Amino acid sequence: MTTINQRLEAVLDEMRDVFARMDAGSVPRLAGSIIAAKRIFLYGAGRTGLVLQAFAMRLAHLGLEAHYVGQLSAPPATSSDLFVVALAVGTLPTGDALAAAARAAGAKVAVITARPQRVVGADLVVHLPAQIMADPMTSVLPLGSPFELALSLLCDLTVAELMLRLGRSNDDLAKRHTNLL
């Protein structure tokens, strides 16, 4: 029987392995695409959607115009915008349809995936080589949690990169944090 600390170490080792296998230019390229966009639209299904909602919030804290697809206040996408979608298996009917709609509006499309070979029509593909539900279950984490955790880390690392590039501090982000709690 393993202890909680042993399981935690296994998860941390797994995340280190994911990011060691990831292209070192992925975060800078994603950050560059975000900076180049007028607005950023984000979408993911299920738990990946929750991660991307949190990412949209952090982008707003940076002072960027970010919208999670499906929110009532989201404006239409245009050719000045970026659509970021998490597709763990590289394709998903809803995500694919939204990416096609974004492309039809002229927006750039960035896909974050564990299966880059299955992605079609993206301007940027970020390969996040974490275990997904379609893989043999080797992680101590359940189902697709390894991908979701790695996605959360990727998003926060991208925010940290954006903070450096935009010259923003935690104090700057805190000024844009909600006060209606």
Question: 43: closest CA among 4, 1, 100, 115?
Answer: 100
Task: Please say whether the beta carbons of 129 and 113 come within 8 A.
Answer: no
Residue type, 101: A
Which one from 9, 14, 65, 148 is the annotated catalytic residue? 148
Q: Which two tokens stand for residue 162?
A: 């954006």
What b/e string do you get for 125-154 counting C-beta neighbours within 10 Å, with b at 16 or more? Answer: bbbbbbbbeebeeebbbeebbbbbbbbbbb
Asked if 148 is an active-site residue, the reply is yes
Could you read off the pLDDT tens digit of each residue along the chain, which spans 181 residues? Answer: 889 999 999 999 999 999 999 999 999 999 999 999 999 999 999 999 999 999 999 999 999 999 999 999 999 999 999 999 999 999 999 999 999 999 999 999 999 999 999 999 999 999 999 999 999 999 999 999 999 999 999 999 999 999 999 999 999 999 999 999 8
CA separation for the pair 103, 85 (Å, rounded): 12
Full-model pTM: 0.96
| 26-175: CATH class | alpha beta
The secondary structure element, H or E, covering residue 50 is helix 46-61
46 Rama class: left (phi>0) / alpha (psi -120 to 50) / beta: left
